[in-house]
């Protein structure tokens, strides 16, 4: 697995099995199938774009483990965290079998980075490297300056990642808890959803904190325990 030396690490829990699909079953099925068609995944912050890109990398790494070949199996390149690097940092990534480029719209308007993406796209097509981009908007709505790159981006297969409704958020919380060996009753998940920020990133961070607190206290995640734990956490921050 190829990653950047930027403090970026693929999350161990960022796999397909830990992602609650909601209305995104078709997208997940597409990502899990082998393909060389470039794909553009867009959606709001916290909708799970980064999780899915890293899940693609994890799956590609597992698939290649028993059949090693030329080049790395997969690479994850987050552009929002790479702006301190020159655009030439992208060179060589086209030789991976699967390349996931996150936060593509972070470089919109930067001609040097757009030229680097244009070269990457063309070289990856020649090598039949699978390219998957993620952004906050579809390719035609980003403020690109380089027309050649704009046309390449628009040629991708485009999918919108739909946010989960409240029922989906509850199921996503329970799935994350189950994979950590926790029992999170439905009514406890409802309690969290009604009182905490509703985006999944915040909810998962709260679940991590509760997991640690439950281990220390040797208590189950009941509503009374969660209420007390959250009150203690609020007092320590005030």
pLDDT at 169 (0 to 100): 92
CB 223 within 8 A of CB 188: yes
With cut-offs at 50, 70 and 90, classify the pLDDT of residue 67: low
Q: Please state the rounded mean pLDDT for residues 86-96.
A: 91
pLDDT of 233 higher than 70: no
Query: Of 51, 40, 3, 13, nearest to 163 (Cα)?
Result: 51
Radius of gyration of the chain (CA): 20
| Region of residue 58 (phi > 0: left; psi between -120 and 50: alpha; otherwise: beta) | alpha
Q: Which residues contact 151 (CB under 8 A, 6 or more apart)?
A: none
Q: Structural domains in the chain?
A: 16-160 (3.40.50.300), 166-237 (1.10.8)
With cut-offs at 50, 70 and 90, classify the pLDDT of residue 5: very low
First to last CA, the chain: 42
Task: Give whichever of 7-16, 73-82, 95-104, 187-196 has the largest mean pLDDT.
Answer: 95-104
Per-residue three-class SS string for the chain: CECCCCCCCCCCCCCHHHCCCCCCHHHHHHHHCCCCCCEEEECCCCCCHHHHHHHHHHHHHHHHHCCCCCCCCEEEEEHHHCCCCCHHHHCCHHHCCEEEEECHHHHCCCHHHHHHHHHHHHHHHHHCCEEEEEECCCHHHCCCCCHHHHHHHHCCEEEECCCCCHHHHHHHHHHHHHHCCCCCCHHHHHHHHHHCCCCHHHHHHHHHHHHHHHHHHCCCCCHHHHHHHHHHHHHHHC
Cα–Cα distance for residue pair 12/99, rounded to 1 Å = 18
Higher pLDDT: 164 or 198? It is 164
Cα–Cα distance for residue pair 221/238, rounded to 1 Å = 24
pLDDT at 181 (0 to 100): 83
pLDDT tens digits, one per residue of 139-148:
999 999 999 9
Task: Give whichever of 47-61, 112-126, 201-215 has the largest mean pLDDT.
Answer: 112-126
């Amino acid at each position: 697995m190829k990653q950047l030396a930027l403090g970026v690490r693929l999350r161990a829990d960022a796999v397909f099995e830990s992602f609650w699909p909601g209305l995104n079953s078709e997208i997940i099925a597409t990502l899990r199938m082998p393909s060389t068609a470039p794909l553009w995944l867009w959606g709001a912050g916290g909708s799970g774009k980064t999780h899915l890109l890293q899940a693609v990398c994890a799956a590609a790494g597992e698939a290649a483990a028993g059949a090693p070949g030329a080049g790395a199996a997969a690479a994850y390149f987050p552009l929002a965290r790479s702006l301190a690097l020159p655009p030439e940092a992208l060179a060589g990534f086209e030789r991976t079998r699967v390349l996931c480029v996150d936060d593509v719209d972070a470089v919109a308007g930067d001609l040097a980075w757009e030229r680097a993406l244009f070269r990457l796209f063309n070289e990856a097509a020649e090598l039949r490297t699978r390219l998957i981009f993620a952004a906050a908007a579809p390719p035609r709505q980003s403020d690109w300056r380089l027309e050649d790159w704009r046309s390449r981006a628009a040629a991708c297969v485009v999918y919108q990642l739909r946010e989960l409704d409240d029922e989906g958020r509850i199921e996503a919380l329970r799935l994350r808890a189950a994979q950590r060996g926790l029992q999170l009753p439905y009514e406890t998940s409802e309690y969290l959803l009604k009182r905490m920020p509703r985006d999944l990133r915040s909810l998962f961070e709260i679940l991590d904190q509760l997991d640690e607190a439950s281990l220390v206290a040797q208590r189950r995640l009941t509503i009374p325990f969660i209420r007390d734990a959250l009150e203690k956490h609020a007092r320590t921050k005030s």
